[in-house]
Structure 1
Amino acid sequence: MRAAPDAGLMRGLALVTLLALAAPAAAQLVQDKLVQDRPALTLAGARIITEAAQAEAEKRGLKVTIVVVDPAGVPIALRRMDDAPAPGPEIATGKAQTAARFGNPTAVFEQRLQKEGQLRYLTFPGAMVASEGGIPVKLNGRTVGAVGVSGATSQEDGLIAAAGVAALEAAAAKK
């Protein structure tokens, strides 16, 4: 004959089971309040951009440097074509960082600078490049990185950068 289970023991086991099941949900609530989820380009995404941008530059007979950064402006990929101008990596990085951090194409700053002669009320840590050729990469309305191009005219740099962003958007739309 089996003894009846102790009621206190059963309640204790039920409480432990309930806590074990609730712990992941509670941890998620805490995590949601303490950690932000910020999407960023991957190396695979950066490759799509750099390959498409290089193809556009080659189509135009231009030698450029292409830099892709994450939303904080940290470089993910750098591609310097043969015979591209030596200052290209630094300038392209500055364009990409400016676009990523402000969430606007660098052409906006170039136009403002040309119109007003200065950029008012703007403080920026590091180098800010107010020359066309930096474009933020936005997916689902969020900046996930940026691309900067240097080595041609600023307008050509902008067109090459736009080709890279368009290729990534097309790839994202297929998924």
Structure 2
Amino acid sequence: MLQTPSQTVGPYFAYGLTPKQYGYDFKNLATNVLENIPEGKEIISIKGKVFDGENNPIPDAMIELWQNDGENQFFGRFGTGTDSENHFVFQTIKPNSVEGQAPYVSLIVFMRGQLIHSYTRIYFSDEEILNQQDAVLNSIPDERRNTIIAQKKGSIYEFNIYMQGENETVFFEV
């Protein structure tokens, strides 16, 4: 039997992980929009791009969002290749503070050339008091902390991911 060629991450995104987004007739396991939104919860949108070390948008990354705020859980996926400007977009609820932590969502970045996915968090710029008290956020040097804080612009939280370079996003080991 012949050995199959090795692949770092794909090209499995389109039909294996986000098929409907790319026009395939397969059922999605996860989408980028939270369904069955609990009553009374604040609905938010998170929008951003993934950039390489030369500040070029990456057109074929896939982002997974994981959220557990003590009451609700949400898992979503979005491939940057279906947006004409290579954005990722998620619609979810604003997470609660759990055990004194600032509200956050977890992101996993999958892309070509990576042998291991990258893990980060999104904190929210309008949670200043809780952000100042969050142990994980405060373990990051001051000059890098802003790389994981989404900026609220109107009704959207803007969060860009920089894989390398001067603005490199803080990534965590899991």
Whether TM exceeds 0.5 here: the answer is no
Normalised by the length of structure 1, the TM-score is: 0.32
Higher strand share: 2
- Return the TM-score normalized by structure 2: 0.32
Structure 1 or 2: larger helix share? 1
Structure showing greater Rg? 1
